Amino acid sequence: MFLSACTLDVAAPGPGPAVELVRPSSELPSTSPARTSAKAHVELGNIYLRADRNGVALDEARIAIAADSSYAPAHLLMAMVYANQEQFSMARPSFEEAARLAPGDPVINNAYGWFLCSQGQENMGLPRLELAARNPYYQTPTRAWTNAGLCLLRKKDDAAAEERFLRAIQADASNVAALVYLANIAYRTDRLMRAKQWIDNAQQQIQRADVEVLWLATRIEKKLGNNDVVQAYGKKMRSEFPGSNEYQLYLQGKFE
């Protein structure tokens, strides 16, 4: 889930003064040997985290914090490890410390914002996600816009979620997740041609669609009355995902 970051003054997330939008802390030059050491251990820890070696990643986070406890990405790394392990009560203080040390860091705001949303605190998480998305130094604003859309889906606000997913694909037209969510919203609101456009665009971006994407595409085509396309998707699911729940629903004719 969490492997999923000129200056402007804007409203801060939640109460408090304006937050200065700054570069991600990991991109700033080291100012001391301690910071250089902490940065190196965080970089290594992130590699381990992406490889699902959570224990080693946690060790690297601890070493980095011991070297320089003021280095915000070290606390973020620790928070991400705990979040991946679903130890949410242990993740929270590390997220909070990272955000305290670097309140304008877009990588931290994106990760912490999504953490808050995932914990049912959408109204606290959304401002952080949008702060990250609007930061001109953030290299991947599409991630933060996508997370904001997901956060709004949790609030059952389809219209606002759709607007964030549109922003996500404006930032990166190849964002498959945002395209699929747009297709899903359009399908649920009976804008079938728009849903077809989004799901077709999503499938053009990936070499092999997963079964959830194929099933959504099948249901859209079924509602449009394109039975030949529906049968083609059915054959594809039978070939690639014969044991899936989606293919069983297809065989039973349960498209809704």
Q: Which of 203, 210, 160 is nearest to 183 (CA)?
A: 203
Where do the domains of the chain lie?
Answer: 173-256
Q: Encode pLDDT of 143-197 as tens digits.
A: 999 999 999 999 999 999 999 999 999 999 999 999 999 999 999 999 999 999 9
- Return the ∠ at Cα 92 (arms to 41 and 33), rounded to 5°: 25
Contacts by 125-131, CB closer than 8 A, 24 or more apart: 125/151, 126/151, 126/152, 127/11, 127/12, 127/13, 127/14, 128/13, 128/99, 131/10, 131/12, 131/13, 131/19, 131/21, 131/104, 131/106
Q: Is the pLDDT of residue 13 over 60?
A: no
Q: What is the DSSP secondary-structure string of 99-153?
A: HHH-TT-HHHHHHHHHHHHHTT-HHHHHHHHHHHHT-TT-S-HHHHHHHHHHHHH
Angle between helices 158-171 and 176-188 (to 10 degrees): 150
Whole-model pTM? 0.88
Helices (H) and strands (E) in the chain, counts: 13, 2
Is the domain 173-256 a CATH 1.25.40.10 member? yes
Q: Encode pLDDT of 120-137 as tens digits.
A: 999 999 999 999 999 999
Q: Residue 228 class from Cβ within 10 Å (0-12 exposed, 13-18 middle, 19+ buried)?
A: exposed
Q: Encode pLDDT of 83-99 as tens digits.
A: 999 999 999 999 999 99
d(CA 175, CA 203): 11
